[in-house]
Structure 1
Amino acid sequence: MGALTQHSKPFNWERPVGLMQPIIPGVIEWQPGVMKIRMQRGDTLIVCGGPRTVSTLTLLVKARLRGIKTVWFGHYWSSTSKSHRFYVRMMLMKLVHAVLFYTDQEIDEYRAGFGHNDRRPISAVNNGINVDPIISVRNPYRAEGRPRDMLLIGRLQAKCQAEMVINALADSRLAGVRLHIVGDGPARADLEVLARKLGVEDAVIWHGGTSDENVIAKVANQCRIFVFPGAVGLSLIHAMAYGLPAVINDDRWGNGPEITAFSANSTGAAFAKDDSADLVDKIAAIIDDTGLLNRWSEEARRRADELYNTQGMTDRVLALIDRLGDGR
């Protein structure tokens, strides 16, 4: 959606609807105007699947009654998923003609579980970002030509667990390593206090929150690695597009679905979730291994450029629509 909403002028096909309204806060919601969306036979309706949004579910039923092809787009499982909502979501997915997951790995996980007998078209977008602006501003990656700097990019909140990286800087093995933080949020003040308490305030550079790729590039292009201790999502793809090897936690189900773009020992290193000592060990083991970092960088960049980007997402959505139209 960001690729659509970043344009100042609306597309001629845009149809604005109302803001989401809670019916039972945190349980059921309704979006005014949704039921006025015009549909006709031959259309394909793709909805952002969620069991809480009754207006979307009602629209799906309306579309089915009119003979319109329907697609459910959503997670198989995410870092915020709860078991009861997961089961409800699996049941509601039966309303549609096809399912569109975030990543190819989610297709495999669905087929191995709830979807083992599902004969409908099941596809995935390989959720990513628009890498074109990054390609135009990124520098070639050569670890030996960069300082021993790390990048953390994302909103500073509890689930980011940025305090783990700041604590890591106090370890003698990481002396001389600096952490660049691009992002802001409610946890920043406490993180600044922690850095001063540990005596590493000079090793943490705060850049604030920004979506200006030119500003981000000036930081990312001088870093050797990307580090994100908490639940990572699209920030991982962002860093990979700059060719940065990643150090992230190893919890598949505690991270966003974008974690499937990462492979330990191919695009970076994985540490045991919530294990501060292991995080330090992993960073210390790779930060000066420039040959290894260069190999990981090449693979990370390739995956972002070829597999996890908005152009690929568009192609996959269109392919699924064509498949539905052909009755396959």
Structure 2
Amino acid sequence: MNEKVAIVQVKIPHYREELFIALCKRVPGIKIFHSSYLSNDGLVESLSFPFSNEHVNMTEVRGFTLQKLTKQILFDDYNYVVLGLELKILSNLLIAVLCRIRKIKLIFWTHGYNVHLKEKNIRFFVDRFVKTILMRMAFKILLYTEYGYKELIRWRIPARKIIILNNTINEKLYEFYITKFRTSEKIIGSDKEKLKLAMVGRLTKAKKIEILIDLVVLLRTSYPQVSALIIGDGPERERLEALAKVKGVEDRVVFYGTINEPESLVPLLMKADMMVQPGAVGLSIVTSFICGLPFITFQDAGHGPEIAYLKSDCNGYIGRSLEDIKEWIIHNYSNKERMEKLRQGCFKVIEDEVKFEYFIDRFVSAFQ
């Protein structure tokens, strides 16, 4: 494929590097424009990437972002331009309009509408109105999952423009280590005393990790040696460590910091029995399912589109309250057959819906 494609990102997080490597192999004319910077939460691990990319300057003013890349994209003969659809990124809005004028094929890579806007106020209608105009202008829309698809159709976005990617990570990077640690000694749900919960992600307020600490406290009555493995880092870590101490479970809640490498992450997760993410769900659900861990979260927690993969009582559970989740865990963990069925439900999602190769195929299909 000889198409020339510009993909614009604010920054390149570690979990996107494999995607861009694969895309650039399939479409050699791709170039990634970004304004990546290192931070203490492990989201961006490097500023040197093994694929075609260009770092551009970025300005942030009062919550709005402006990347200085208009000339590089619009006057370098690109056939396609792939943009995010966040209204706060003003440079993307400008490029979208100019692409329309210059007849460059515009592709939005997006969640769709802002699902966090529940109340139908001015912000809600501005979001829907502006994004509807932009998506109708677009050549294609790359939707993360089916999560926002029905709303796009209700707002009369043509279905022929929409490609559902089923956002994921490269499961093959985990396979060797999973095989190595999947031993006959690991009998799911066999030891009622040693229930292990895991959480993977950045330690931010949106993740509501204090609820996981409360869950450990509640479960101690049934499982005296219950523990939680918290894998990640961020601005909330110090507060959460102090909270675990106040709750008397500092020896039960273990903070491991950021671990992104499969060879280090898999051994930890293979010791766990379930993944619990009280707050906003993202790609951690895919990691959970790759490792066969049933995934647990709460309703109405401001989830990302990956929540579409979670089916209650099939591969995890969406709970109504802390007590509800506690009872669900006790009910299921005590039954080996039920736990194995949940595990198989996790593997089925990866095999049937969210394999990395499918993700790449769907992405590349936008350029055909």
TM-score of the alignment, normalized to the shorter chain, above 0.5:
yes
2:208 maps to 1:168: no
Query: Does the C-alpha gap of structure 1 residues 51 and 30 become closer, same or farther in structure 2, counting only changes over 3 Å?
Result: same
SS of residue paired to 2:314: coil
SS of residue paired to 2:177: coil
Equivalents in 2 of 1:67, 1:175: separation in Å?
65
Alignment-derived partner of residue 326 in structure 1: none
Q: Does the 8 Å CA contact 2:197/2:229 hold for their aligned counterparts?
A: yes
2:138 maps to 1:92: no
Shift of residue 300, structure 1, vs aligned partner:
0.9
Alignment-derived partner of residue 293 in structure 1: 339
Equivalents in 1 of 2:240, 2:86: separation in Å?
34
Equivalents in 1 of 2:256, 2:159: separation in Å?
49
2:276 maps to 1:235: no
Which of 77, 101, 112 lines up with 1:40 in the alignment?
Answer: 77
Equivalents in 2 of 1:206, 1:52: separation in Å?
34
Alignment-derived partner of residue 305 in structure 2: 257
Which of 85, 101, 115 lines up with 1:65 in the alignment?
Answer: 101
Which of 302, 316, 341 lines up with 1:268 in the alignment?
Answer: 316
Query: Does the C-alpha gap of structure 1 residues 94 and 303 become closer, same or farther in structure 2, counting only changes over 3 Å?
Result: same
AA aligned opposite 1:143 = I
Query: Does the C-alpha gap of structure 1 residues 123 and 77 become closer, same or farther in structure 2, counting only changes over 3 Å?
Result: same
Alignment-derived partner of residue 50 in structure 1: 86
What root-mean-square deviation, in Å, do the aligned CA atoms of Structure 1 and Structure 2 show?
Answer: 2.4
TM (norm. structure 2) is 0.77
Q: Does the 8 Å CA contact 1:77/1:257 hold for their aligned counterparts?
A: no
Which of 243, 250, 256 lines up with 1:201 in the alignment?
Answer: 250
SS of residue paired to 1:173: coil
Q: Deviations over 1:192-232 (max 9, x none)?
A: 22222222222222211121211111110111111111111
2:356 maps to 1:310: yes
AA aligned opposite 1:225 = M
2:17 maps to 1:2: yes
Shift of residue 145, structure 1, vs aligned partner:
5.8
Alignment-derived partner of residue 325 in structure 1: none
Shift of residue 60, structure 1, vs aligned partner:
2.5
Q: Does the 8 Å CA contact 1:160/1:228 hold for their aligned counterparts?
A: yes
Alignment-derived partner of residue 143 in structure 1: 188
Summarize the alignment of residues 119-130 of structure 1 with structure 2, pairs less than 5 Å apart. 120-130=160-170
Q: Does the 8 Å CA contact 2:82/2:106 hold for their aligned counterparts?
A: yes
AA aligned opposite 2:235 = P
AA aligned opposite 2:102 = R
SS of residue paired to 2:112: coil
Alignment-derived partner of residue 18 in structure 1: 56
Equivalents in 1 of 2:367, 2:333: separation in Å?
45
Shift of residue 264, structure 1, vs aligned partner:
0.6
2:328 maps to 1:282: yes
Equivalents in 2 of 1:118, 1:318: separation in Å?
20
Alignment-derived partner of residue 154 in structure 1: 201
AA aligned opposite 1:255 = H
Q: Deviations over 1:277-297 (max 9, x none)?
A: 223222222222221111111
Equivalents in 2 of 1:17, 1:127: separation in Å?
24
Query: Does the C-alpha gap of structure 1 residues 299 and 96 become closer, same or farther in structure 2, counting only changes over 3 Å?
Result: same
Shift of residue 15, structure 1, vs aligned partner:
4.3
Q: Deviations over 1:64-110 (max 9, x none)?
A: 33333221111124565562434432232222122111112322332
Equivalents in 1 of 2:113, 2:175: separation in Å?
31
AA aligned opposite 1:181 = I
- Most deviating of 205-214 and 304-313: 304-313
Q: Deviations over 1:130-153 (max 9, x none)?
A: 111111211447414675211111
SS of residue paired to 1:313: helix
- Most deviating of 100-109 and 179-188: 100-109
TM (norm. structure 1) is 0.86
Equivalents in 2 of 1:9, 1:234: separation in Å?
21
Q: Does the 8 Å CA contact 1:142/1:294 hold for their aligned counterparts?
A: no
Shift of residue 175, structure 1, vs aligned partner:
2.5
SS of residue paired to 2:317: strand
Unaligned runs of 5+ in 1: 323-328
SS of residue paired to 1:143: coil
Q: Does the 8 Å CA contact 2:310/2:317 hold for their aligned counterparts?
A: no
SS of residue paired to 1:202: coil
Equivalents in 2 of 1:277, 1:236: separation in Å?
22
